[in-house]
Amino acid sequence: MIVRLTTLGLLLFAATANATQLTLVRSCPLDDGSQVALLAEPTVEGNRFHLKIDGTVGTAFTDMPDTDFIGTIALAKCVDGSLIFAISYGPPYLKGAVVRKNPVSHRLERIDFSEKALPRWLYVNSREMQLVIPNIGYEVASRYLVYHYSASDGQSSEPAARDALPSKRGFEKLAISRQMPRSSGHDK
């Protein structure tokens, strides 16, 4: 009997010791008064990231649920009721998202992206978001890649390639970051 209790005790201790510890990277207030939190789970290769929204913890990258993105934080910022984050998960790409609750409907909205540069501007209004990223990879012949989200249609399937910034008409233009990742030799 003592052997069984000791074995059971060791199993419980091992399970507790192996429990995943999530650490807070950034928490941002949302327009409905709730919070969104970016959480990191340490692994041998880097961190796996999660979002906590309305008390529920889920993967940070919902657009590719079968892919396990592990990396380091390149950007985690609160911008006007939105959380904008990106991770470096292997040169030359950054993977990230913009998460907000619509200021009118309070429904969760997000833009997922994967590019070689960090986003620079977020255009917002009560119906749409546009995320602007400088095109340093030159996969297309344009200066900017613009990811679009519409409250009625969701995120467009591909970013739009543009040589000029979107019009500010009807939008609030918010600066995100002026930092650019170091050149990896792939973007020349």
One-letter amino acid at 72 equals: T
**Cα-based torsion angle of the residue sequence 44, 42, 88, 153 in order, rounded to the nearest 10 degrees:** 130
Global pTM value: 0.83
92 or 10, which is more confident?
92
Per residue in 142-154, pLDDT (tens digit) is 999 999 999 999 9
Could you identify the residue written with the tokens 């390639």?
161
Asked if residues 48 and 70 have their Cβ atoms less than 8 Å apart, the reply is yes
- What's the mean pLDDT in 5-21? 45
Model confidence at 107: pLDDT above 90: yes
Per residue in 26-52, pLDDT (tens digit) is 999 999 999 999 999 999 999 999 999
Asked if residues 34 and 101 have their Cβ atoms less than 8 Å apart, the reply is yes
Angle at the Cα of 117 from the Cα atoms of 115 and 122, rounded to 5 degrees: 90
Mean pLDDT of the chain: 86
> What distance lies between CA 38 and its chain's CA centroid?
8
Residues 6+ apart with CB under 8 A from 44: none
Give the pLDDT confidence score for residue 14 in this predicted structure.
38
